[in-house]
A and B are shown apart, each in its own frame.
Chain A
Amino acid sequence: MEHTKILKILDAFKWVYGKLGVNYPIMRKILQVKLMMDERRTPTILINNNTNAEEGNMFAKSLLMYGIWGIIIMLFIFPPFPLFYKMNIIIGMILFLVMSVMISDYSSVLLDIKEKNILNPKPIDNRTINAAKTTHIIIYMFMIILACAAPTLIAGTIKYGVTFGIVFSLQLFLIAGLIMFFTSLLYFFILFFFDGEKLKDIINYFQIILAVAMILAYQLIGRIFVIFDFNISFTPAWWNYLLPSTWFAAQYTLFIEGNYASHYIIFSLAGLFIPLITMVIYYKVASPYFEGYLQKLNNNSGDTIRKYNIKKPSKFVKLLCPNKTQEVFYIFTKNMIKKERALKLKIYPNIAFAAVLPFLMFMRGLDAGSFPEFLSIIREGRNYLSMYMSTALLIASYPIISTSENNKAAWIYKTLPIKNLSAVYKGSIKCFIATIVLPVFLFVSLVFTLIYGIDIIGHIAIIFISSLITLLFIFSMIGKELPFSQDFQYVKHSSISSFFGTAFIIGISAAIHWIIASRGYNIIPYLILVSIFLIVLWIITFNKIEKSLKYN
């Protein structure tokens, strides 16, 4: 069996478990199975990668990712700022990363009540089951913390000496305890007030936030040193006392820089005692209660009989969908996008990224100084063309609409009397445009209109229509699976072609647009041209589908 290394390390602590009254051989067995199952889980942090889901190694791969993040975090140790600031950032980042990972990927471990069905009927005492659970979480948290923190530990020790190494290592234990406490506290409060479904929603939001934060952080990391001015002197504000990263960072000022200002001492003490107290609270008080509330996960309280009126499709939907089948599939698609968590996890980060991507281009302009100067720099160029990038990102994600966790439920397409399958596609593609592309596009265009003035509305219209043309091309090239009928593997296969296809067609559109704009031609004829092209393409695309379906 694998994982022998982890288990062998654990064997060294056998006596601790013995003291706690745990049946060690059985706990070891349970743990072995749990570790095996984890290998087959796909972590959120890898979700955008196209790695084939080979068995095993998934966790190793994600550890590598955390390691890369660890190296990025490490970079903060080098600039010549006071240690207090640097460590604040470093520990803050480690806390954020590990906590998010815990919530998004290990919530299933923390919240697992299915294992109760398997383990509790067997002659194993609760103490052993809980010990296996806790040990399991601790093992992973340590591996993740280690991957994030090891580069900093090494670099810091080289730069600041052994004291740094010792302080940092000890802190990692405290950080682990703190994360454990906060994570379960969060779950505890959610479960206290809401039911299991709400908790799953919140976990889903965290997963989305983590994915967005990862993508954005890649973009921002290089610029962060430029933006922040670390040379201001530090005077503690009241809220600094609430930041765990501050508590830990202060200990370096104390031990390495030898600055014994009173607030550093208070911070340092907080950094030592608060984690210890929380750990005691966690094991003695919270954990038994927590187990009780976990039961709520399964029971979805029937006491919420909400009075719902039936939701009639809005006028907007009616206008968009001329026939009933289209309308029905528009609503279906909307409900699925809004409700299915696995879909949200794949779509929402793209939406967030698409909403900010055009503006990331401006970041270099931020050095320019005053805001009016900055604005004038932007206005000189044709930055609004970066809206193409935003729509490209959204359109490339179109194949996701064909997938679902419950793709097997697609049997209904066969048994339902759907005469005209092209209406199904039309309904769902219109929904994709209206609920995913349009909101982001409107937001981005609003900002650009504020910058460039009302004159660019013509350009915005061209960009939007060109994007719809691209969407139709992508649809007829790869997107022709029925909505929500494929498993997620399908996206992995189609995403590369969808990405390059989109990039290619959007690239051409943007190039033509740029040529016309930069030569100062009137854009109205071009606008009319693309509009006609869109209408013709729409008709051809769906006629073709109707024909191909009739004869097969």
Chain B
Amino acid sequence: MFNNEPIINIRGLRMNYGEKEVLKGINLEIYKGQIIGYIGPNGAGKSTTVKIILGIIEGYEGEIKIFGEDISLNRIEYKRRIGYVPETAEIYDSLTGYEYITFIGEVYGMELEIINEKARKLMGLFGIEEAYHERISSYSKGMKQKLLIIASLLHNPDILFLDEPLSGLDANSVMIFKEILAELASRGKTIFYSSHIMEIVEKISSRIILLNDGAVVADGTFGELKEKSKEGSLEEIFNQLTGFKEYKEIANEFVTTLQGV
């Protein structure tokens, strides 16, 4: 790794929701230019980790340093260099695409003309320029997702947090987006990518972190994980490491139940 200082450094991160311990001491060092595939079963604590880093959820234990600074000390400044695409496309959809994007961009301190020019061009590249001045409520799911992606990238962030960013995108847009990610990483941007689609994570990630029940159970490149677990695909590694074997039995019972009545 070039530049030995990690860009994200997490030490002993713990989080409780009441009685329930969601994160049980996570340690992570993430370096510039990495594409991290952050995976794990439902409820493993993936979104919670991301939301804590972004300051959406508060009240954690442990230490999180981003760009070398503890985020609990200065909660605002680091956000200038971060982009986020949330899992559910919650958006003020009464506004038009133009109104939403310029609003977000201006909060980042960009000039209105520059935002407008960039946003229009980026929407054009994603093939949704004609919707720029339409209400977001009239967008399809994929269009909303594209808008969120553009809104998260507009201020040229150094770290990008993506939570299931491909939902609703068609195959062509997925190709474009994967290429964009690779390009961004090669220019030194760091990408934190959580998803349930193993094929894509396997392909795009330079490093895969598998979370299970609030703890990191695997961390390495796809090659390293493959070697360790002696399984062929990320999906199988995932099943093995999360201790899930009986999928065949469950599927079988499912079908039997269907046909039984």
Contacts and interface: CB of A to CB of B under 8 A. Distances in A.
A415 B56 contact: yes
Contact of B138 (A300, A328, A404, A414): A300
Interface in B114-143: 116, 129-135, 137-138
A522 interface: no
Interface residues of B, number: 40
Interface string B142-183: 000000000000000000000000000000000000000000
Residue of B80, B103, B129 most packed against chain A (CB within 10 A)? B103
A300 to B, nearest CB: 4
B109 A412 contact: no
Interface string B97-123: 011001110111100110010000000
B55 interface: yes
Contacts of A11: none
B109 A308 contact: no
Contact of B95 (A306, A312, A324, A339): A339
Contact of B107 (A343, A405, A409, A416): A416
B94 A406 contact: yes
Contact of B92 (A300, A305, A484): A484
A478 to B, nearest CB: 23
A307 to B, nearest CB: 9
Contact of B116 (A310, A327, A343, A417): A310
Interface string A316-345: 000000001101100110011001110100
A310 B112 contact: yes
A89 to B, nearest CB: 39
B143 to A, nearest CB: 11
Given A302-B130, A308-B133, A328-B107, A415 B79 contact: yes
Nearest to B77: A417
A339 B106 contact: no
Contact of A406 (B92, B113, B129): B92
Contacts of A306: 133
B103 A414 contact: no
A411 interface: yes
Interface string A397-421: 0000000111011011011111100
Contact of B93 (A335, A406, A412, A415): A406
A419 B104 CA distance: 14
Given A197-B138, A409-B90, A417 B104 contact: no
Given A300-B138, A305-B130, A310-B113, A406 B90 contact: yes
A302 B131 contact: yes
Residue of B98, B108, B137 most packed against chain A (CB within 10 A)? B137
A417 B99 CA distance: 19
Residue of A305, A411, A415 most packed against chain B (CB within 10 A)? A415
B104 A324 contact: no
Contacts of A275: none
A340 B131 contact: no
B90 A408 contact: yes
B108 A417 contact: yes
Contact of A418 (B56, B94, B107, B133): B107
Interface in A24-52: none
B91 interface: yes
B90 A335 contact: no
Nearest to A408: B90
B103 A417 contact: no
Given A408-B90, A411-B86, A415-B79, A335 B99 contact: yes
A335 B55 CA distance: 27
B84 interface: yes
A405 B113 CA distance: 29
B95 A336 contact: yes
A484 B100 CA distance: 14
B261 interface: no
Interface of B: 54-56, 76-80, 82, 84, 86, 88, 90-96, 98-99, 102-104, 106-109, 112-113, 116, 129-135, 137-138
14 contacts: A300-B134, A300-B138, A305-B130, A310-B113, A324-B106, A324-B109, A328-B107, A339-B95, A404-B94, A409-B93, A411-B86, A414-B54, A415-B84, A418-B107
Instruction: Please list the 10 inter-chain residue pairs (A to B) with the smallest Cβ-Cβ separation, ordered nearest first.
Output: A340-B94, A417-B79, A300-B138, A408-B90, A339-B94, A414-B56, A417-B80, A328-B106, A302-B130, A409-B90
